[in-house]
Amino acid sequence: MAISQPYFRICRPFAGGHYIESIDSTYLRDPRYATDLIDLVRGYHLLEKQLYRLFDYVEPSDANLDCFSHELYALLLRASTEFEANARAILSANGYVARGNLTMQDYHKINSASRLSEYKVTIPIWNGSHKRLTPLQGWAAGHSLSWYQDYNAAKHDRAANFSKASLRNAIDAVAAVFCIVFSQFHIFAFDPNHPVSMFGVDDSGNHWSHDASLLTIETPVSWGEADMYEFDWNLLKSQVNPFLQYTF
């Protein structure tokens, strides 16, 4: 049986596979669902703009994956902390309480709710096999993410680990932020400055794109009917508490 109320900050398809019931009336834009949609989407797009500017100097190609620099170091740190901010917001909204400071072991719990390990991101202008990314695939087998481990190593000892501030890690970190933002706000992650009304989606209904975004994204396809949403938001939104907390 499908889920009759949406979880806080967890976007899932409706029974039948569609994600958006209405552009103008959707739980994704209700302030009770999340008050910081614009802030987090803007945060992501600033990272995307920085990556796009870097491509003026470093060709987006497999040949340059291991290059590193201070600009890439700054992008890796910013993207990684932005990822943490999104993860904390999801856990907090759903009532999760950690025993100490939140760590990757805590953040990993989000995968059970949003299936972030299945999200795929494409860089259309990329030349080579790294064009299609799965930045959170590591969560399918455990709580470790290689780009995040390298971020921590470079942050705590840049002198010894400066080479870990690579183009490979920076783009994976930016792509991971895109995934976690999209997993909360879906198409509204595409443009922080204008209402999203027009967007691209392929015949499968799982590959999404927008003119305002450098990257395109593919959503998970493994949802079972019992994991999907099934409700009429126009009826549900009048309730005092229309959202559920996911138990991590």
CB 36 within 8 A of CB 60: no
Residue of 118, 96, 119 whose CA lies nearest to 107: 96
The rounded percent of the chain whose pLDDT value lies above 90 is 87
User: What residues does 207 pair with on adjacent strands?
Assistant: 218
Question: Pairing state of beta strands 120-122 and 207-209?
Answer: unpaired
Long-range contacts of 58-62 (CB under 8 A, 24+ apart): 58/167, 59/127, 60/123, 60/125, 60/126, 60/127, 61/126, 61/127, 61/128, 62/127, 62/128, 62/129, 62/130
pLDDT at residue number 204? 72
pLDDT (mean) for 9-37: 93
Q: Give the pLDDT confidence of 53-100 residue by residue, as tens digits.
A: 999 999 999 999 999 999 999 999 999 999 999 999 999 999 999 888
Nearest to 174 by CA among 67, 64, 63, 43: 43
Question: With a threshold of 0.85, does the pTM exceed it?
Answer: yes
- Return the structure tokens found at 207: 């590959």
pLDDT by residue (tens digit) across 159-169?
999 999 999 99
At 201 the pLDDT is: 79
How many residues would you count in the chain? Answer: 248
How many angstroms separate the Cα of 87 from the Cα of each of 40, 48, 143, 183? Answer: 11, 19, 13, 11
Q: What pairing do the DSSP bridges indicate for beta strands 120-122 and 216-218?
A: antiparallel
pLDDT at 202 over 80: no
Query: How far apart (Å, rounded) are the C-alpha atoms in residues 219 and 98?
Result: 28
**Side chain identity at residue 199, one-letter code:** F
CA distance 92 to 8: 10
- Cβ–Cβ < 8 Å for 149, 81: no
Mean pLDDT (the chain) is: 95
Q: Which residue in 65, 100, 104 sits closest to 84, CA to CA?
A: 104
In the three-class reduction of DSSP (H, G, I as helix; E, B as strand; rest coil), residue 12 is classed as coil
Average pLDDT over residues 188-212: 83
Residue percentage of the chain with pLDDT more than 70: 99
